[in-house]
A and B are shown apart, each in its own frame.
Chain A
């Protein structure tokens, strides 16, 4: 350790294959990381809510569909799923579409498949939370909705879901943070996000390991912390009066 040559100046050197500095490159990488995580989170929230809700509806087929969705996307590691999307799915597409996908800029196709893979993977986890939230409500809530003449859809829309979502904000917060942490797998399909850039920096700078890794690590921590605070703010604003947490 004593003969480690610190060199914080590397951040102002230009990268090997381009004309920006490493610092600029890291900031661009942060942009990719945030873009992947947020877009994936939007997909996860939308599909997770849909399939989580389906699991609780009084209809055998729909409930089974929701269940299948969750088991399908939850039981394969995210990196493996990304490989399936990136390497396998294009081969399965009709010929013209397949050629079009393969001719895309690898940055863009890697980015799109990372968003899809991370979005669907996270959606299965969100669906589990949504289901747990709906099932934690007392049975009377559903009965009350139906008793005042709501249809099943209206009962969900006006009674069950507004309650369930407010209850599950804390577990959703950790899933949101996980989306940021998992977005690093995009490096494996060549997206220039934080993990990719730090790996590349270690190589190109001839082993300035600490400098190359510490900045992306801190950026990750800041991202998760920000996600945590945003969710906490929403949680505070949407607390259900009368529950223990609301005081």
Chain B
């Protein structure tokens, strides 16, 4: 059963795999950076004294969190060309979908982070004569961000795994590369085993990093 496996295909496949991996990583980084920025804004909206703004942000976050990502990817990929007439291709479509989707999850993390800061910190900011936005930007958010760093990274770990779902719209990610090379050469078994290992190594390293940060940050706090 193992005798028929031929892993020499893996060597030939490396350029294709690298290209796929690069897109998966690009998707992860773009969705993380965009998601954290948008998520922080959403969190600020939810905590603001403006009830409408808070409600709108809550509806957005709850909606995103209750729809499976796979459905979101399909919605965005199929609906945007219909509504705007712009055909952007599965790769770019996924970049936007992931950013919008992850923003909801990052916003919950940032909200928890902001709420974990002692109230005295805001008062201290005001007492120094800072405005609300200055207090947020210079006092509250940096602390919230640091406290939540392990959780933000854990979410990124989930995000990286979820990038494989872009398979649904045929975006050329790591899994797509494995499948295509595998089918073209009749070597799907070897390719799937190899790419699983790549996913495992990346995710395992990331989870080790989170563990390490958890320890360090727990000590500083």
Within 8 A of A (CB), among B177-221: 179, 188-189, 192-193, 195-196, 199-200, 203-204, 207
Choose among A1, A80, A185 the residue that contacts B199 (Cβ–Cβ < 8 A): A80
In the complex, identify which listed stretch (A8-16, A44-52, A219-227) lies at the interface while the others stay far away: A219-227
Interface residues on A, range: 35 or more
Q: Which residues of A contact B200 (CB under 8 A)?
A: 75-76
Query: Are A84 and B196 in contact (CB-based, < 8 A)?
Result: yes
Residue of B whose beta carbon sits closest to that of A1: B83
Query: Are B164 and A80 in contact (CB-based, < 8 A)?
Result: yes
Query: Are A195 and B168 in contact (CB-based, < 8 A)?
Result: yes
A110, chain B: closest CB distance, angstroms: 16
Query: Are A84 and B192 in contact (CB-based, < 8 A)?
Result: yes
Interface core residue of A79, A92, A98, A195 (most chain B CB under 10 Å)? A79
A77, chain B: closest CB distance, angstroms: 4
- Assuming A79-B165, A209-B78, is B195 touching A216 (CB within 8 A)? no
Query: Are A92 and B70 in contact (CB-based, < 8 A)?
Result: no
B87, chain A: closest CB distance, angstroms: 13
Within 8 A of A (CB), among B1-34: 1-2
Kindly supply a per-residue 1/0 record for chain B positions 153-174, scoring 1 wherever the CB is within 8 Å of any chain A CB and 0 otherwise: 0000000011111011000000
A217 to B71, CA, bound (A): 7
In the complex, identify which listed stretch (B36-44, B61-69, B109-117) lies at the interface while the others stay far away: B61-69
A240, chain B: closest CB distance, angstroms: 23
Query: Are A78 and B71 in contact (CB-based, < 8 A)?
Result: no
Kindly supply a per-residue 1/0 record for chain A positions 177-218, scoring 1 wherever the CB is within 8 Å of any chain B CB and 0 otherwise: 000111011011000000100110010000101100100110
Interface residues on B, range: 20 to 34
Choose among A1, A74, A79, A98 the residue that contacts B207 (Cβ–Cβ < 8 A): A74
Kindly supply a per-residue 1/0 record for chain A positions 84-101, scoring 1 wherever the CB is within 8 Å of any chain B CB and 0 otherwise: 100110011111001000
A81, chain B: closest CB distance, angstroms: 8
Choose among B2, B66, B71 the residue that contacts A195 (Cβ–Cβ < 8 A): B71
Choose among B162, B188, B203 the residue that contacts A87 (Cβ–Cβ < 8 A): B188
Query: Are B193 and A84 in contact (CB-based, < 8 A)?
Result: yes
Q: Which residues of B contact A150 (CB under 8 A)?
A: none
Query: Are B196 and A195 in contact (CB-based, < 8 A)?
Result: no
Choose among A4, A78, A92, A187 the residue that contacts B1 (Cβ–Cβ < 8 A): A92
B3, chain A: closest CB distance, angstroms: 12
Q: Does residue B82 face the partner (Cβ distance < 8 Å to A)? A: yes
Interface core residue of A4, A75, A84, A92 (most chain B CB under 10 Å)? A75
Choose among A88, A188, A209 the residue that contacts B82 (Cβ–Cβ < 8 A): A209
A58, chain B: closest CB distance, angstroms: 22
Q: Which residues of B contact A84 (CB under 8 A)?
A: 192-193, 196
Query: Are B71 and A220 in contact (CB-based, < 8 A)?
Result: yes
Kindly supply a per-residue 1/0 record for chain B positions 70-108, scoring 1 wherever the CB is within 8 Å of any chain A CB and 0 otherwise: 110011001100110000000000000000000000000
- Assuming A181-B68, A195-B168, A217-B67, is B74 touching A80 (CB within 8 A)? no
Residue of B whose beta carbon sits closest to that of A93: B1
Q: Which residues of B contact A98 (CB under 8 A)?
A: 1
B134, chain A: closest CB distance, angstroms: 35
A188 to B199, CA, bound (A): 19
Q: Which residues of B contact A209 (CB under 8 A)?
A: 78-79, 82
A213 to B165, CA, bound (A): 17
Query: Are B199 and A75 in contact (CB-based, < 8 A)?
Result: yes
Q: Which residues of B contact A91 (CB under 8 A)?
A: 1, 189
Query: Are B164 and A210 in contact (CB-based, < 8 A)?
Result: no
B residues at A contact (CB < 8 Å): 1-2, 66-71, 74-75, 78-79, 82-83, 161-165, 167-168, 175, 179, 188-189, 192-193, 195-196, 199-200, 203-204, 207
Can you list 26 A-B contacts with CB-CB less than 8 angstroms, sorted by A residue number?
Answer: A1-B83, A71-B204, A74-B203, A75-B204, A76-B196, A77-B163, A77-B164, A77-B165, A80-B164, A80-B195, A81-B196, A84-B192, A98-B1, A184-B70, A185-B70, A185-B165, A195-B70, A195-B168, A199-B74, A209-B78, A209-B79, A209-B82, A216-B71, A220-B66, A220-B67, A220-B71
